[in-house]
Amino acid sequence: VLNAKPGTRLELNTTGPTHHRLTLSRGEIDVRVWAPPGRVGVHTPAGDVIDLGCIFSLAVDEAGAAHLTVHTGWVNLVTTRGSSFIPAGASASMTAGRAPQVPVYDDAADTFKRAVRALESNAELVDSPSIRTLTQQARPRDAITLLLLSSIDGLDRDTRTALLET
């Protein structure tokens, strides 16, 4: 089941018994898939969104950035620079030419979310208060976020260790 919001530019590229591929150029869609993983894929200007059997919302803004929220199941975001698996209850974005963001749970504190995105955008300039925010506000379910953050380029050894020991 797919619902498109008004003004959405969506195109069906291919369909068959084992896969369905769409292109979302702009706008917002809500998708509910009850099929084996990988059967439904949505190409965006930023990269590809591969359903792994779930319900998700996907929006593409005027600049071509894709914003994903997963309601149930998992979704894989894939760009030319890498991929990121996003679990239910989390969100992430991707832009062309960059790796997708790491998933952050929607119910995380806003200060935690801001610290995650600051570390992602410029790991070399992240300050101690941001690292403290991440390590102090992380809940057990945020382990996936911290694990993926610890692997981004530009992090120093002490920061990696702090994230992994949380």
Average pLDDT for runs of 10 along the chain of length 166: 94 92 97 91 97 95 97 96 95 95 97 92 73 92 93 83 85
**The predicted structure's pLDDT at residue 162:** 85
**The predicted structure's pLDDT at residue 159:** 83
pTM of the predicted model as reported, rounded to 2 decimal places? 0.90
Contacts of 165 (CB under 8 A, 6+ apart): none
**The predicted structure's pLDDT at residue 79:** 95
- The C-alpha atoms of residue 30 and residue 64 are separated, in whole angstroms, by 18
How many CA atoms does the CB half-sphere of 27 hold within 13 Å?
Answer: 15
**The predicted structure's pLDDT at residue 66:** 98
Supply the DSSP string of 76-140, one letter for each residue. Answer: EEEETTEEEEEETTEEEEE-TTSPPPPPEETTS-HHHHHHHHHHHH-GGG--HHHHHHHHHH--G
**The predicted structure's pLDDT at residue 125:** 63
